[in-house]
Every structure is written in C-alpha cells, then in structure tokens.
A = this chain, B = another copy of it.
Amino acid sequence: MNVQNPIRPGVATGAIPGSRKVHQVGSLWPDIRVPFREVAVHPSANEPPVTLYDPSGPYTDPAIEIDINRGLPRTREPWVVSRGDVEIVSNPRQVRPEDNGGASGVHLAPAFDTPRRVYRARSGATVTQLEYARRGIITPEMEYVAIRENLRRQASDPTLRDGEDFGAAIPDFVTPEFVRDEIARGRAIIPANINHTELEPMAIGRNFLVKVNANIGNSAVLSTVADEVDKMVWAIRWGADTVMDLSTGRNIHNIRDWIVRNSPVPIGTVPIYQALEKVGGVAEDLNWDVFRDTLIEQAEQGVDYFTIHAGVRLAYIPLTAKRVTGIVSRGGSILAKWCLAHHRENFLYEHFEDICEIMRAYDVSFSLGDGLRPGCLADANDAAQFAELETLGELTRVAWKHGVQTMIEGPGHVPMHKIKANMDKQLEVCGEAPFYTLGPLTTDVAPGYDHITSAIGAAMIGWFGTAMLCYVTPKEHLGLPDRKDVKDGVIAYRIAAHAADLAKGHPAARAWDDALSRARFEFRWEDQFNLGMDPETARAYHDESLPKEAFKTAHFCSMCGPKFCSMKISQEIRDAAAAQNDVAEGMADMARRFRDGGGEVYVPTGVPTRE
C-alpha cells in the first residue's frame, strides 16, 4: 500500500564494551535460549565473570545480523502455535488512512512490508499466561522468565539476603513453578501478545527484579519513524525492559509496526491516543466502536499491553476541579472531557468487560491507567487520585475474572513522605497486582532535571514494592526526549531499580555491586568501567583526567594522585593487618606486642611505605 522505498533506520548494534552475549537454555523447554550480558574481569581477580540482566535483544549479539526491514526473528511463533488454542486470522484488519492520521504521499511513513501471520484465540479460548498458569501449565515464557531472573545463579549457590522487603515474597531462587504461581495469583505478569513473537519474555511483579519502562513516540509536532525505531533500540541497549509507544501524531500505525516488529521487549500503547486521532482529535466524538476497532488493530499488530483509563469515572472529575494542576494525564484528560461533554459515565468503564474479551484473545495485558494522577506535590494523594485507585482495584478483579493479565499505573508527583502510602494502598485495593509508577517526582521545581527528581521517588517506591518504574527524562515538562535524553532517563531509572532491588534484599542484586567494588579497590580500572552501567561514559570521564593508557592500570585514582590515594594506603593496611596473622585480636594487644618488640609494621612485611 506504500510505494516508497523501505527505510533503513540506523540503530546501535554491537556488544556493550567489555560485555558479551551469553545464553542459558531451558530444561522444561530445551529450545528456549535466555540471553544475558556477561562481563569478564581481569585474570588477576581470580573471580568468575559477572552476569547481568540483558533486555537489549539481538542488537548486542554480534552473531545475529540485524535487518530492520525484516524485523527480528519470530522465535515465539512455534510456542504460540503449538499450544493449539490459536487460529490464523483469515481476514486481518486492513490498514485504513485514518490509522495513520490521514497522512499521504510524502507525509506517509512507509509501511513495514515483511508479511506475517496474524493470530487470535480460537473461539471462546483464553490464550493468556494468566489462564495457562491457573490451569497449572508452565509455558516456555514462564521458564524463560525464571531463568532470566536468576542471572545464572544456581539453586545451590549461597544466597545473600540483606534487605527489607516490606512483606514481599522474593524467593532465594526462581523456579518455573514459582513464576507460574505468581502469574496465577495475579502478582506478576508476562506481557506477551501472541502476535509479538519477536519477544524475549520478561516478568513484571513485586517478587521479581524491578523493571524499567521507557516512553518513546512521535507527536504532532516532532519526530519520524527512523527516530522512533532508533530510540527503541537505544532505550533497550541501556536497560529499558519495556517500551511504550506514545505516538500521537500522524503515521501512528506504521511507526508502531516498525517498532513492534523490531522489538525484543514488550511494547505498550495508550489506544485512546490513536482512537482520538481517528475522530479528528475531538474528544467528544470518541465512541466505543472506534475504540474497539483500535484495540483490535493494535492487538493484531502485537502490542503487549494497553493503558486503559477506565478508572476516570464521571463522579471523580469534580474532585480535580480545585487541584493546582488538574488532570495531567493525557488519556485521563481526554476521557474526562468526554465524560463532561456527554455527562455520561466513562465508556471505557462501561465497556470494560468487552475490552477484556478482546484482550484475552491476544494476551494483551492491562496497564490500568492512572488518569487522575497528581501533577504536582500539592495534588498528591488526594481524593481524586485515591478514588480512581479504588476503581482500578475493582477493575483488576474484573480483568482477572476474564483471565486478563493486569498491572496498575501509579503517580506522578509525590513528596517523599507520601510515597509509601501510595504503595500500601495499591497493594491493599489491587490485590497485589503489579504496580507500575511514573517516578514519582519528589519536587516540582527542577524542570530539566526531572530524571533526578523522580529517580529519588522511583527508587523509594521500587523498594516499597513497585514492580516497574516508568522512566522520566530530563526533558519532562519541556519537550520530547531525544536520543541523549532517552539514555539519561533509562540509566537514572536503572539506578533507581537496582537500588530498590538492593534495599529489598533481592538475592541476585548485590553480587554486581560487590564485584565492581572489588575492582575499584584493586584498581582494576578496565573492570570498573566494564562492570559499570555505562562503560563508555565511565571510561570517557576517567580519560578526561588521566587519558594515558598506562593510567588504566595505575594503582591510584585521578582524584588524589599517587601520594594521597586512600585505596592504596588501605591496601597497605590490609596487607599489614594480614601479616599480623590474627586480625581479630585486639589492636591494643597488637600494639603492645609491637612496641615490646620495637617492631615497625612495614619492615617485616616488606610492604613499601613510600611512593
């Protein structure tokens, strides 16, 4: 339907410096190959390599040739088909001009042209991971996730548990059965549309590693297809676990096709954005038919989770009238406008069971949107926000009844002392369905730095139990993120997520920090760079101070210079202490013995005491 030449967007490929892609195969499902990022350390360390979680997909695997025009390998397709409960859609929905906002000619983004089959559940079937889990079935997706969460630790490995988990139930070792049980009780989800067979499955749940979502997407103002695919690949390269395509302008359909076909991570969308586009941007003209059509369009494309703002009920809208910043969710405000204009209950709330019926036929997961989230500290934890949250709890139970996987979106802007109440209330009213929060931002006063204002809140709410953190970039409130902003946002949120895992005492979390700290103490500079979240930046910063290669093995830091190096002195102390044979013995005794013997600590050990 499009005669333009296919685009060839450039995306970043190749391994992260110092890392290599490794795989672990399944036991129950021997054809699954779970990817990890392995960082080897210098032989002098006499340590095994460090295994890191790796959502970056085939792009960081030199063994795989990337062709954006073909899309990623459809590895999951046999898994989906072999379950015997799906059918090929003989008459998939055809793309219509309004799907791309009426774009035409040179303004129409090229279609993704590589053909594929479209699947849906056989009549009456529920093809969700939740349904399988309830039936006691461990799917390949579940074993994949179990292997992935263990980071190549073995069940027999010693486990360090040091944290406060606020009542979570993180196991020492994740078994496929544990995953199945968490999915069955709704405490975790594996967003995995049967039409997104390029997916490398991942889990979102309080008892798994904390995940990070990155938002991309064009707008009526800015951005192109190539930029968005590039941003998706860039976001997962630095650690985004899922990506939401929040496009709102033209070409929504075609951009999404390119993204889904090339994405190894779950893709989320907010279908109301495209539905609104289809009715010319007039909120009052939205209706169930156009929304339903959009759900099917996107479910057939392979979108893994939908933000549905069904909790913005008519009765809650007046609760926002005296807020400082009213309704700041785009979806929330669109629906509020619809409700007010018609003076009717939100049609997404009224059609919620119809929506469930569609989503369970493709295993699209709910991300129940917090359309009434606070947009500033003054509005945090107010009546509107918590009224909606209670409705999201009610809708969670409806979704579960229909077998649809569900997570819950959360705020927003919240001062530190009001963060925990959000988590506690969510756990209480939503039956431990995974919480998925935007930040929260802990102050309103730093536009340009909201990746930091919000990383503070994100780390805390992640610690308290949030399963996935939606990143905020430095451009928040100011503009659409570019490539640099995407990376800055993802890394700030990887920091928050990992800090949360550490504080929860996740047994797979601390080994990474300890390996890097040992490298730091032993002046293994290359190891310190390679083990860092961003090896390129760490190396570049070190090079600014000490650019010479020789300094990469120097036994001092660029901060202090050789004479004052605390790490160096500290190593001498350790050596000296070790030479005493009994470190645990009281120092007073040691000193007396030394004084008695006229001893000089460094003389007998031969450790140099001067530079």
Contacts and interface: CB of A to CB of B under 8 A. Distances in A.
Contacts of A542: 478-479
A516 interface: yes
A291 to B, nearest CB: 16
Contact of A220 (B500, B516, B561, B594): B561
Contact of A459 (B330, B456, B580): B456
A529 interface: yes
A326 B521 contact: yes
Contact of A448 (B341, B504, B541): B541
Contact of A558 (B332, B479, B576): B479
A496 B456 contact: yes
Copies of this polypeptide in the complex: 2
A221 to B, nearest CB: 5
Nearest to A529: B447
A164 B542 CA distance: 40
Contact of A163 (B417, B518, B566): B417
A573 B327 contact: yes
A444 B503 contact: no
Interface stretch (A14-22, A40-48, A137-145, A275-283): A275-283
Interface residues of A, number: 143
A586 B315 CA distance: 7
A174 interface: no
Contacts of A332: 566
Contacts of A516: 444-445, 447
Interface string A365-398: 0000000000111100000000000000000000
Contact of A583 (B322, B459, B537): B322
A318 B575 CA distance: 11
A110 to B, nearest CB: 23
B560 A502 contact: no
Nearest to A446: B533
A57 to B, nearest CB: 21
A232 B379 CA distance: 38
Interface stretch (A87-95, A206-214, A297-305, A505-513): A505-513
Contacts of A578: 321
A296 interface: no
Residue from A336, A337, A444, A594 with most neighbouring chain B CB atoms (10 Å): A444
Contacts of A557: 477
A583 to B, nearest CB: 5
Contact of A591 (B344, B417, B512, B590): B344
A480 interface: yes
A562 to B, nearest CB: 7
A532 B324 contact: no
Interface stretch (A70-78, A351-359, A597-605): A597-605
Contacts of A609: 282, 284, 337, 341
A28 interface: no
Contacts of A602: 341
Interface in A221-260: 221-222, 248-249
Contact of A416 (B320, B503, B558): B503
Interface in A537-562: 537-538, 540-542, 544-546, 557-562
Contact of A561 (B221, B492, B499): B221
A332 to B, nearest CB: 7
Interface in A573-595: 573-574, 576-578, 580, 583-588, 590-591, 594-595
A325 B570 CA distance: 8
Contacts of A480: 545, 558-559
A-B residue pairs, 8 tightest by C-beta: A479-B545, A326-B570, A220-B561, A376-B517, A416-B503, A333-B569, A333-B566, A321-B577
Interface of A: 162-164, 219-222, 248-249, 273, 276, 281-284, 314-318, 320-322, 324-330, 332-334, 336-337, 340-341, 343-344, 375-378, 413, 415-417, 442-449, 451-453, 455-456, 459-460, 463, 474-475, 477-480, 482, 491-492, 494-496, 498-500, 502-505, 510, 512-514, 516-518, 520-521, 528-529, 531-534, 537-538, 540-542, 544-546, 557-567, 569-574, 576-578, 580, 583-588, 590-591, 594-595, 599-602, 609-611
Given A417-B503, A445-B513, A448-B541, 5 more contacts: A219-B564, A315-B588, A321-B583, A327-B570, A341-B602
7 contacts: A219-B564, A314-B588, A322-B583, A334-B564, A336-B569, A378-B517, A478-B542
